[in-house]
C-alpha cells in the first residue's frame, strides 16, 4: 500500500488570521484537498489560537466525516485542548510539544524526564478512555532513547510521527542527510518490532520527501507549509494531485506494506 498523504491546512487559517478576514476559507481548503486525493486532513489547534480557531475544528471534522476521510488533530497535552478533542472526536490525535514563543513545532516530545513522560502518558490515557477508537500518534525525534519510551505507555500507541524538520532543512541546504536517513531506518525497525506505525512530518517539501519515499519506511506523511506555499502558484488541487502521483509511482514493489492499523 502506498503511504497516506495527510495535508496540514493550518496555514490557510494563518493567512485568514493575518487580516482578521473570513477568507481564505479553511472548510473549502479541506474539501479541495479531499476532492483531489488527499488521504487525511491535519489541523493543529494551538493554545494561542494563532491560526486554527475552535470553530474550524468542528467545521473540518464535519467535512472529513462527509468525505469518509480521517481527521488528524494535532495538539499539546493541555487540559483545555484535551476537552475540545473529546468533543470533536477526531480519528487520530497527534500529541506534540507546544511553546508559545516558537514559530512552529520545533521538535519532538520530550519523554526522557519522568515528569514529561507522565504528562503525555496521562493525556493518552484520558483521550483513549473517552474514545477507545481514537488512534494516537506521538510526534518524536528518531533517537533510540526517546523511542524506547513508547512501549512503556499505559495505553497502546498507534503511531510515532518522526520529526523530519532537521532532515528537511539539511536537504534544502544541500547538506549531508545520510545520518538522518540511517536513524530513520533504525527508528522504523524498532517501531515495526513493537507493532507501531511510523509516520513522518514537519518541514517536508516535494523534493525532500523523495528519499523518504524511496526508503519505504513511512506509512503516512503530514505536510503543510510547503503545500500551502506551492498552492499560491499552482493551486491547491494540482499540488495535491501531483504529490499523490509521486507517492503512488513509488508504490511498487513496496516492502513496507505493514500498516498495523
Ligand atoms: N506534523 C506535525 C506534528 C507538525 O507539528 C506539523 C506542523 O504543524 C506538521 C506535521 C506539518 O509541518 P509543515 O507545515 O512544516 O509541513
Task: Give the model's pLDDT for residue 107.
Answer: 87
Instruction: Specify the CATH number for the domain of residue 27.
Output: 3.20.20.70
Task: Give the model's pLDDT for residue 102.
Answer: 67
Mean pLDDT, residues 229-257 taken together: 82
Task: Give the model's pLDDT for residue 238.
Answer: 97
C-alpha cell at 194: 513493537
Alpha carbons 149 and 157: distance in angstroms, whole number = 11
Q: Interior CA angle at 225 toward 42 and 240, to 5°?
A: 70
Task: Give the model's pLDDT for residue 94.
Answer: 98
Indicate the number of domains in the chain.
1
Task: Give the model's pLDDT for residue 249.
Answer: 82
| Lowest-confidence pick of 13-17, 22-26, 66-70, 102-106 | 102-106
C-alpha cell at 3: 503511504
Is 8's C-beta closer than 6 angstroms to any atom of ligand 1? Answer: yes
Mean pLDDT for all residues in the chain: 94
Task: Give the model's pLDDT for residue 101.
Answer: 63
Pocket of ligand 1, candidates 9, 72, 102, 105: which has the most ligand atoms within 8 Å of its Cβ, to mutate? 105
* 128-153: pLDDT as tens digits: 999 999 999 999 999 999 999 999 99
- For 226, half-sphere exposure in the C-beta direction (CA atoms, 13 angstrom radius) is 20
**For residue 229, what are the domain limits?**
4-260
Q: Are 71 and 40 in contact (CB under 8 A)?
A: yes
Task: Give the model's pLDDT for residue 260.
Answer: 43
Task: Give the model's pLDDT for residue 1.
Answer: 85
Alpha carbons 240 and 250: distance in angstroms, whole number = 16
Q: Which atom of ligand 1 has the smallest separation from the CA of 94?
A: 3
Mean pLDDT, residues 166-193 taken together: 98
Pocket of ligand 1, candidates 98, 201, 206, 218: which has the most ligand atoms within 8 Å of its Cβ, to mutate? 201
Q: Which residue carries 474539501 as its cell? A: 31
Q: Which atom of ligand 1 has the smallest separation from the CA of 165?
A: 15
Is 203's C-beta closer than 6 angstroms to any atom of ligand 1? Answer: yes
Q: Is 170 helix (H, G, I), strand (E, B) or coil?
A: helix
Q: How confident is the model at residue 100 (pLDDT cuts 50, 70, 90)?
A: low
Q: Are 95 and 65 in contact (CB under 8 A)?
A: no
Alpha helix (H) ranges present in the chain? Answer: 10-19, 26-35, 54-67, 79-88, 114-130, 144-147, 165-172, 178-193, 206-215, 225-234, 236-249
pLDDT at position 256 over 70: no
Alpha carbons 131 and 126: distance in angstroms, whole number = 9
Instruction: Find, among 225, 239, 197, 202, the residue nearest to 3 by Cα.
Output: 197
pTM value is: 0.94
Q: How confident is the model at residue 255 (pLDDT cuts 50, 70, 90)?
A: very low
* 31-74: pLDDT as tens digits: 999 999 999 999 999 999 999 999 999 999 999 999 999 999 99
Is 208's C-beta closer than 6 angstroms to any atom of ligand 1? Answer: no
pLDDT at position 113 over 80: yes
pLDDT at position 253 over 50: no
Amino acid at each position: 500500500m502506498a503511504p497516506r498523504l495527510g495535508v496540514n491546512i493550518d496555514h490557510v487559517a494563518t493567512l485568514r488570521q493575518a487580516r482578521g478576514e473570513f477568507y481564505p476559507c479553511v472548510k473549502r481548503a479541506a474539501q479541495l484537498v479531499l476532492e483531489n486525493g488527499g488521504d487525511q486532513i491535519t489541523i493543529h489547534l494551538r493554545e494561542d489560537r494563532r491560526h486554527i480557531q475552535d470553530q474550524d475544528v468542528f467545521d473540518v471534522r464535519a467535512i472529513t466525516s462527509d468525505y469518509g476521510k480521517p481527521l488528524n488533530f494535532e495538539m499539546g497535552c493541555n487540559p483545555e485542548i484535551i476537552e475540545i478533542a473529546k468533543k470533536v472526536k477526531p480519528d487520530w490525535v497527534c500529541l506534540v510539544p507546544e511553546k508559545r514563543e516558537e514559530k512552529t513545532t520545533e521538535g519532538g516530545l520530550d519523554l526522557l524526564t519522568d515528569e514529561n513522560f507522565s504528562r503525555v502518558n496521562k493525556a493518552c490515557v484520558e483521550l483513549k478512555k473517552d474514545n477507545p477508537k481514537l488512534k494516537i500518534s506521538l510526534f518524536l525525534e528518531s533517537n533510540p532513547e526517546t523511542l524506547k519510551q513508547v512501549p512503556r505507555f499505559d495505553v497502546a500507541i498507534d503511531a510515532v510521527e518522526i520529526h523530519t524538520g532537521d532532515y528537511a532543512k539539511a536537504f534544502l541546504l544541500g547538506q549531508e542527510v545520510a545520518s538522518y536517513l540511517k536513524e530513520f531506518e533504525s527508528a522504523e525497525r524498532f517501531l515495526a518490532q513493537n507493532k507501531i506505525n511510523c509516520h513522518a512530518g514537519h518541514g517536508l517539501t516535494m523534493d525532500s520527501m523523495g528519499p523518504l519515499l524511496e526508503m519505504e519506511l513511512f506509512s503516512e506523511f503530514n505536510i503543510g507549509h510547503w503545500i500551502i506555499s506551492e498552492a499560491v502558484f499552482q493551486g491547491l488541487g494540482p499540488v495535491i494531485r501531483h504529490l499523490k502521483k509521486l507517492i503512488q509511482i513509488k508504490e511498487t514493489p513496496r516492502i513496507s506494506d505493514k500498516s498495523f492499523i
